[in-house]
Amino acid sequence: MGSAMTALPLVFDAPRRGKPPRHLADLTREEARAAVADLGQPAFRADQLARHYYRGTTDPAQMTDIPAAARETLREALLPELLTVVRHQTADNGRTRKTLWRLHDGALVESVLMRYPDRATVCISSQAGCGMACPFCATGQAGLTRNLSAAEIIGQAVAAAAAMADGEVAGGPGRLSNVVFMGMGEPLANYARVRATLDALLGTAPYGLGLSQRSVTVSTVGLVPAIRRLTEEGRNVTLAVSLHAPDDELRDTLVPINTRWKVGEVIEAADAYAQRTGRRYSVEYALIRDVNDQPFRADLLGRLLAGKLAHVNLIPLNPTPGSPWDASPLPAQREFVARLRAAGVATTVRDTRGQDIDGACGQLAAADRVEGVPAVALPTPAVEAPVPLGAEADQG
């Protein structure tokens, strides 16, 4: 197995590149009102602008409650185009749509909108690429290009909400109900921007999408100081921990961050989050044939989580081009589930939506060239983690 693993360095500090233009979604309400006043407009125009933006409207012609002479000035100053659609790909009879976005500097990221009978969920990216170097994940193997700004992250959710409202996904007009930070990147390695995004997702009109905390999930491979910070700050969003192995020996290889914070520390931090919120956390576990799907590892995981406020979400591995691994066979999946449930651990197997368009878990990489622009991340040198990780000041 070791020879099949591609050893990449862990990268915690995102490379510093030119910042995106200032955007309304990067500002607090007070900052937005001040920015509008600086343009010689009444401060309340910021609220009008925000109402349009969070409804998916950026065309000045549609902003009829704002004087025509002021619309273009406000749009140019506070609603620059940060995300440009390169292409959409659909699957599942049109109920799943993956979008490739080009950012202001040419970096590329992907998001996936999935419609179910009872909900619509968008999986958004928080970084271009990822520095966590998990060898079975296409994004992790691409490396890290940079952190996204809050507005770049928020914009993916706003676009998904607008697509649902406009009936662009099979099933007719609907409402975006869930957001998961499970796209490209490690969300808690871009903590300040992700935290600002949560404010926008949960905020009420005009400065937010008005989602419930239960409908937003933040995933992490186990940045323990950042999990603790999230706990201290009092949000009650769903926490998902990408564990993928119950023992340190295997997890050190599958999830290299484990060389910094071991399985026991990660689960302890997740338990503290569950204790404060009263809500169970999700343990994400990609089942990889003959790597981490053995019955004894199911028993180890069961003992690790027995009696805890946790739920295991098993994910049959979504292979990527050139990957030496495959999903666990159905008999192995069934035995793994049975052993976890016998230990009293709530367990489900995730639906692999969008697999045929490389839109499923672990497949987001945009690993091609689009109009001559390389979509994979630029190689970056290893950078030592700041201490404590996740509690650092906002990074450029």
Q: Please state the rounded mean pLDDT for residues 272-300.
A: 97
Percent pLDDT > 70 in the chain is 86
pLDDT, tens only, 110-150: 999 999 999 999 999 999 999 998 988 888 778 899 999 99
Question: Given 123, 137, 361, 392, which residue is catalytic?
Answer: 361
* Confidence (pLDDT) at 156: 98
CA angle at residue 82 from 76 to 87, to 5 degrees? 130
| pLDDT tens-digit map of 218-257 | 999 999 999 999 999 998 999 999 999 999 999 999 999 9
110 is catalytic: yes
Percent of the chain with pLDDT over 90: 77
Query: pLDDT, tens digit, for every residue of 315-353?
Result: 998 777 677 888 999 999 999 999 999 999 999 997 765
pLDDT at 282: 97
Mean pLDDT for 371-382 is 32
- The catalytically annotated residue of 110, 152, 186, 392 is 110
pLDDT of 269 > 60? The answer is: yes
The mean pLDDT of 366-376, rounded to a whole number, is 39
How would residue 14 be classed by pLDDT, with cut points 50, 70 and 90? confident
Q: How confident is the model at residue 365 (pLDDT cuts 50, 70, 90)?
A: low
Is the predicted pLDDT of residue 359 greater than 70, yes or no? no
Domains of the chain with bracketed CATH:
2-20+82-374 (3.20.20.70)
pLDDT tens-digit map of 46-58: 999 999 999 999 9
Mean pLDDT of the chain: 87
